[in-house]
Amino acid sequence: MLDMSMSDQTRTAIVTGASRGIGAAIANRLAADGLAVVVNYAHSADEAESVVSEIEAKGGVAKAVRADVSDPGDVASLFEQTSEAFGGIDVLINNAGIIQPGRVSIVDTDDELFTRLFDVNTRGVFNTLRAASSGLRDHGRIVNFSSSLVGLRLEGTAVYAGAKAAVETMTAIYAKELRGRGITVNAVAPGPTATELFLKGKSDDMIAQAKKAPPLERLGTPEDIAGVVAFLVGPDGGWVNGQTIRANGGLV
């Protein structure tokens, strides 16, 4: 249940794709830091409600809201429902995204896969950024999600990495377009992170190779990434703007 008696000074965050993995870790971390959190999901209602229950059990404030970020109408509804529930929006975390099924070369990428990757990973960010221009309060924070594959440039990742590269470019430009409002816009580009989505379908050898790749010789954790996001939206991150932070243990 929402605590509608909370202080007007409480900041509110939307975390897209927050029903599991990195998004769920971010939602939990921001709630622990005192923000009211909207746990956005597209399909996994039960998992999103479980994240809300976990946050509330620790004394935090959260609400699950369904929205497909690739749909502008859904995004408008997400912002409206958040503002109605909490009185405004201060933080937007664009975590929602999909990965491609293993490495797929450009020549083997069909139209359906190309459209799906760009609809969620790029258009989804565009839709929420556009909505944030009027929906986010001044002095807010925006964190978009890219991928360290943009820097690695591995064969078979061109379309996925290209969709994320577009996000990095939009991040830097949008930070300038919001000049004068005190809103920071940054991106986080994780490397291999131990989530169910990343580990699914990978052999022990593949996981071992992924662990050895960065100099720190381990996979990232969702909490590692959540900590970077918490810094960017917290009081110490206010002078970082228009940047992409590659949180990957030194992989690239």
Of residues 173, 124, 175, the one with CA closest to residue 145: 124
CB 64 within 8 A of CB 41: yes
Active site residue 160: yes
Q: Which two tokens stand for residue 68?
A: 């497909």
86, 126, 160, 174: which is the annotated catalytic residue? 160
- Report d(CA 213, CA 211) in Å as an integer: 6
Q: Can you name the residues that pair with 220 across neighbouring β-strands?
A: 193
- Report d(CA 20, CA 39) in Å as an integer: 10
Dihedral of the CA atoms 153, 157, 162, 168 (nearest 10)? -60
CB 140 within 8 A of CB 237: no
Q: Which residues are catalytic?
A: 160
